[in-house]
A and B are shown apart, each in its own frame.
Chain A
Amino acid sequence: MVKITYIQPDGRAQTFEVPPGYSVMEGAFKNNVAGIVAECGGSCACGTCQVFVDPAWAERAARPGPLEQSMLEEADVEREHLRLSCQIPVTDALDGLVVRIPTKQR
């Protein structure tokens, strides 16, 4: 199991053990983490599962592909490590990952 911490805009943090093979979005969704909408169910089609990836972890998460990039503003991805959490597969290398949830998803 992989430990992932989800931090709400008000600073409240929740840590869950998420099985490898899930996405970071699914880890949040199955644990009822507020603020992750994921309206399309994880197909990189709605842009409502955004998270800021803690800079220390940004390098270790799989890089965004072209479809994910097209859903986000490039500057946000580069500067603030904004990602779609459905596009980050949970792997053992991400044990301890910290993501922050934005104030709104759309």
Chain B
Amino acid sequence: MSIAAEMMELPQIQGIEPVPAHVPRELVRPFPYILGAKTKAKPHSFIKAIHDGPEVFWAERCFNGVRGAWVPRRAEDLQRIYHDTEHYTSRGFAPFADLVGDTWYFVPAEVDPPMHSLLRAAINPLFTPKRMAALEDKIRVYVRECVASLRGRGSCEFMSEFAFEFPVKVFLELMGLPQSRVKQFLAWEHGLLHEPDIEKIKDATRSVVACLREEIEDRRVNPRDDFITFGLQAEVEGRKFDDNELVGFCFNLFLGGLDTVSSNMAMQILHLAEQPDHQAILRANPAMIPDAIDEMMRSYAAVATSRECIKETKIGGVTVKPGDKVHLATFLAGRDPAAYPNPEEVILDRKARHVSFGYGPHLCIGMHLARREMRIAMEEMLAGLPEFSLEPGVEMSYYLAAVIQPVELRLVWTV
């Protein structure tokens, strides 16, 4: 599919930054994955045309809805840039603190080496495979309850009734936050990631920070066995986390753990709803589910992050200057024809590597938890429901950024 403007609903806003003078005009290309953009086309259908274009191009508005960035499309270039902490900084990859004039930053996502290793070493014990394995039973109970409550109805709206619901429950539990706040947290998450209106993003940011600060102050006096208390007790270079690090640590967990898992899960279930043959294969062979999930994470990658150039360098022969943003869209890399033969096809046992969790030192710290959540969700959906498909006659639409995600996903099955 070509990248025609009529395929997308782009938010109209003021203050779009002009293309910098050093960017060759012929490299300024259309890019649909802009904050607040929606489409009724398949969200990954624009990617093939992008791979017919240059190895790297400039996309207006792709950093925070206002600012432009370089977009490399090849898996090899993304891998190299993820590793290259000499020419690129991770600082400023998320716009939220800047938008509201705050000084905190994501910990560890926005921290560069050598401090990054120290912070990551302090935080890693929260996410070891053993610790995540201990959550298996709890996650399965949440998912089973959810599937059981839906079964008899013969239909569901998968996003609101499943995909968001249980990762939020797991997250709230880990953070030591009350389950009664699920709806509130989902509303904030939506405000941060899918609102075209920058004022709404600011409001959501302020609300989340206020809530996290309140919880942090509570744990100072009432320590518990949860991630916030862990953050208060963690040490780096023989000292406790400072205020910016604490807020950034909690905010990073908040943003990293929710929408991303829900989006990937939704794209996977959507694929199975549209491809009954694949659904049947995985029903008959649940042991294939982990590889199938990785293949769908490659094919339907949802997340993009960014870097900022700090020392002049090149991507595919094009000069990147200090201050330039570089948009690392894992969904482009996942369908790079140079890395994956026949990239549009989902081959359940392809067993290919992908960068959908990132790569290099900043590889998703919650990867083991995310894989577990997605696997249990698919296992229980297939075990607990008969063959499901898309509700006929419903036109689907999708958010194209900050995370690719169906707006709604209506499933039906025979009761």
Contacts and interface: CB of A to CB of B under 8 A. Distances in A.
Interface string A66-105: 1101111100000000000000000000000000000000
A67 B121 CA distance: 5
Interface string A18-50: 000000000000000000000111011111000
A12 interface: no
Contacts of B120: 45, 67, 70
A106 B368 contact: yes
Contacts of A70: 120-122, 124-125
Given A67-B120, A67-B121, A70-B122, A41 B128 contact: no
Given A70-B120, A70-B122, A106-B129, A40 B359 contact: yes
B219 interface: no
B363 interface: yes
Contacts of B276: none
Interface in B331-386: 353, 357, 359-363, 365, 367-368, 371
B252 interface: no
Contacts of B117: 44, 66-67
A106 B362 CA distance: 18
B22 interface: no
Contact of B128 (A44, A66, A67, A71): A71
Nearest to A45: B363
B124 A41 contact: no
B363 A73 contact: no
B138 interface: no
A44 B363 CA distance: 9
Contacts of B359: 39-41
A45 B83 contact: no
B314 interface: no
Q: Is the interface of A mostly helix, strand, loop or mixed?
A: loop
A65 to B, nearest CB: 8
Nearest to A76: B130
A47 B276 CA distance: 35
A39 B353 contact: yes
B79 interface: yes
Given A73-B128, A106-B129, A44 B361 contact: yes
A45 B371 CA distance: 15
Contact of A39 (B122, B130, B357): B357
Interface in B117-136: 117-118, 120-122, 124-125, 128-130
B121 to A, nearest CB: 4
A39 B130 CA distance: 18
27 contacts: A39-B353, A39-B367, A40-B359, A41-B79, A41-B83, A41-B360, A43-B360, A43-B363, A44-B117, A44-B361, A46-B363, A47-B128, A47-B129, A66-B118, A67-B118, A67-B120, A67-B121, A69-B121, A70-B120, A70-B121, A70-B124, A70-B125, A71-B124, A72-B128, A73-B128, A106-B129, A106-B371
Q: Which 4 A-B pairs have the closest CB atoms?
A: A70-B124, A40-B363, A45-B363, A43-B361
